[in-house]
Amino acid sequence: MAEASKIEARLKKLERAQAVRDDIEAIKRLKYRYFRCLDSKLWDELVECFAEDATTSYSGGKYSFQGREAIMKFLREGLGPTMISMHHGHHPEIEITGKTTARGIWALHDYVIVTQSNTALRGASFYHDEYVKVGGEWKIQQTGYDRVFEEVWDRNETKSLRITRSMFAPPGK
């Protein structure tokens, strides 16, 4: 009898550990989808990454919004048609804090080209996120980043620098 209860206890422990690994993997996929949708301007898909009452605090709180509609308005306008962006999240540190809550820290490398002014920005940041599981699916409850550095330059200063392809340019441009 004692042996069976030990085996049962070990099995429960393994199941809990697997559930945590599954949740962490789901949160990673959520954040990866956030970056992909952001750079691809897939706004209808991006909005699904956020909880209804999500909040943001981008750039050390300079751009703070409450509710996913306000967040999406900022992102749509901020990354409009003259912006080409690349956001790469790395080195996730994710902690499951409850049955339906988690938090994470992500290193970010971003590169943004403003085609209208032919300027560019490159930076590094650390995202600090909180997640909530809603209906069995992880969502971003709070997200924001603090800059490590940011640099901006005029692309016109490098005469040979040009964009040869963009997913947002009309064919042949």
Question: pLDDT tens digits for 18-30?
Answer: 989 999 999 999 9
Domains and CATH numbers, the chain: 2-157 (3.10.450.50)
25: which residues sit within 8 A by CB, 6+ positions away? none
> Can you say whether the dihedral through the CA atoms of 117, 148, 35, 132 is positive or negative?
negative
Cross-strand bridge partners of residue 90: 107
pTM: 0.91
Q: How confident is the model at residue 9 (pLDDT cuts 50, 70, 90)?
A: confident
Kind and range of the H or E run holding 152: strand 137-154
Contact criterion met (CB below 8 Å) for 76 and 45: no
Q: What is the pLDDT of residue 23?
A: 98
Q: How far apart are CA 31 and CA 26, in angstroms?
A: 9
Q: pLDDT tens for residues 25-55? A: 999 999 999 999 999 999 999 999 999 999 9
Q: What is the pLDDT of residue 173?
A: 55
Q: What is the pLDDT of residue 136?
A: 96
Q: What is the pLDDT of residue 13?
A: 84
Q: How far apart are CA 92 and CA 147, in angstroms?
A: 17
